[in-house]
């Protein structure tokens, strides 16, 4: 079932790009090699012997390159790279949740039209294979809800505040130093990063795409000492929770907001940069998946799983989107 070796043209060499590079070098894969890496600043010293370029054409015009791996921060640029990849008949792997959350319907159409794969498990929850499991395993009418801590940096900040009495600013700076926070931290602490992941997850969970502006989103940036004291008094912790649930009327509701979580909940003990997702179904009750949701190497490993899946001709089938009656979104809770 395997195809010929994947020759990768990569965009971006930040935290995750570097992680992928390390991971691929460690396992010395026969399935995939990185041929060329497109970066913004080609003069920067990176200490490795690879073929860097700052010209996208130098990747797209190379007929040997049959897979585009896009790991850059800029959502707009990422969109054009992935679109161009699919239109050129190449499969693509992307980690850019902001881009995906805004452009998924068009990109799904494009990948089907050009008969190529677009994989992005790395975009939601780093090393936890939540998309793949929703797509492959929980793809039936038993699914009731998906709820989780999807953003490693805001969770890291909350953990430091609640467990180690860090101030908000110090905790944020520490998260950035460790490489958990995106270059623009408002995406993390404003809840947007969680929202983007929730939108992607919902496509695979319920076959329904909902655009970002429709969904109630409230981050942790306004959290203050009173909130923290209140939570401690109640023996609870604030967690930034993303949530999609199917109502009895068949419609789905979605939200991202801080919630007071009691000790008996699975996500109570999700600390630091970890992510945790609770998948609830009618008969199997709750499934809990837990792992590193951020960081170069864990996310790089997730990108590797997408690359391996490409090698074995895997594609998301969007069964719930195309084989079933459409599910509707409602904000009428």
CA distance 311 to 320: 24
In the complex, the smallest distance separating the C-beta of residue 175 from a copy of itself, rounded to whole angstroms, is 18
Strands 237-246 and 216-217: unpaired
Secondary-structure breakdown of the chain: helix, strand, coil percentages, each rounded to the nearest 5: 40, 20, 40
Cβ-contact 96, 72 below 8 angstroms: yes
Cβ-contact 106, 133 below 8 angstroms: no
In the complex, the smallest distance separating the C-beta of residue 71 from a copy of itself, rounded to whole angstroms, is 15
User: Which residues in 97-136 contact a copy of itself (CB under 8 A)?
Assistant: 121, 126-129, 132-133, 136
User: Which residues in 155-174 contact a copy of itself (CB under 8 A)?
Assistant: none
DSSP assignment string, 49-89: ---EES-HHHHHT-TT--EEEE--S-HHHHHHHHHHHHHTT
User: Which residues in 238-277 contact a copy of itself (CB under 8 A)?
Assistant: 266, 269
First to last CA, the chain: 46
Q: Mask of contacts with a copy of itself, 280-309, x by CB under 8 A? A: -xxxxxxxxxxxx----xx-xxx-xx--xx
User: Which residues in 206-225 contact a copy of itself (CB under 8 A)?
Assistant: none
Annotation says 83 is catalytic: no
In the complex, the smallest distance separating the C-beta of residue 116 from a copy of itself, rounded to whole angstroms, is 15
Cβ-contact 303, 71 below 8 angstroms: yes
Among 97, 98, 160, 197, the one annotated catalytic: 197
One residue of 312, 326, 328, 331 binding a copy of itself per CB under 8 A: 312
Assess 316 for contact with a copy of itself (CB under 8 A).
no
Phi and psi at residue 61, to the nearest 5°: -85, 0
Nearer to a copy of itself, 172 or 261 (CB): 261
* Chain contacts with a copy of itself (rule: CB under 8 A): 1-2, 19, 22-23, 26-27, 29, 121, 126-129, 132-133, 136-142, 266, 269, 281-292, 297-298, 300-302, 304-305, 308-309, 312, 314, 317, 319, 323
Active site residues: 197
């Amino acid at each position: 079932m395997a195809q010929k070796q994947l020759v990768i043209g990569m965009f971006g060499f930040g935290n995750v790009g570097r992680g992928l590079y390390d991971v691929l070098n460690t396992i010395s894969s026969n399935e995939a090699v990185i041929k060329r890496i497109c970066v913004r600043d080609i003069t920067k010293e990176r200490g490795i012997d690879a073929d860097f370029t700052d010209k996208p054409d130098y990747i797209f015009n190379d007929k040997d390159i049959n897979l585009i791996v896009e790991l850059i921060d800029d959502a707009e640029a990422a969109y054009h790279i992935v679109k161009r990849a699919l239109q050129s008949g190449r499969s693509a792997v992307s980690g850019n949740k902001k881009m995906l959350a805004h452009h998924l319907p068009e990109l799904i159409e494009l990948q089907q039209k050009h008969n190529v794969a677009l994989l992005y498990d790395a975009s939601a929850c780093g090393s936890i294979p939540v998309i793949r499991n929703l797509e492959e395993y929980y793809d039936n009418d038993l699914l009731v809800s998906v709820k989780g801590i999807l953003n490693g940096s805001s969770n890291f900040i909350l953990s430091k505040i609640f467990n180690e009495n860090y101030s908000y600013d110090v905790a944020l700076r520490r998260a950035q130093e460790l490489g958990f926070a995106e270059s623009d931290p408002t995406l993390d602490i404003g809840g947007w990063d969680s929202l983007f992941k929730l939108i992607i997850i919902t496509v695979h969970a319920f076959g329904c795409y909902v655009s970002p502006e429709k969904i109630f989103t409230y981050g942790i940036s306004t959290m203050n000492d009173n909130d923290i004291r209140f939570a401690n008094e109640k023996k609870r912790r604030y967690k930034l929770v993303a949530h999609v649930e199917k109502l009895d009327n068949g419609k789905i509701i979605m939200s991202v907001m801080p919630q007071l979580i009691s000790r008996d909940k699975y996500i109570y003990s999700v600390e630091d940069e970890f992510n945790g997702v609770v998948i609830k179904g009618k008969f199997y009750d709750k499934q809990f998946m837990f792992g590193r949701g951020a960081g170069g190497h864990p996310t790089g490993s997730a990108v590797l799983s997408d690359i391996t899946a490409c090698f074995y001709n895997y594609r998301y089938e969007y069964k719930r989107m195309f084989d079933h009656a459409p599910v509707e979104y409602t904000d009428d809770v």
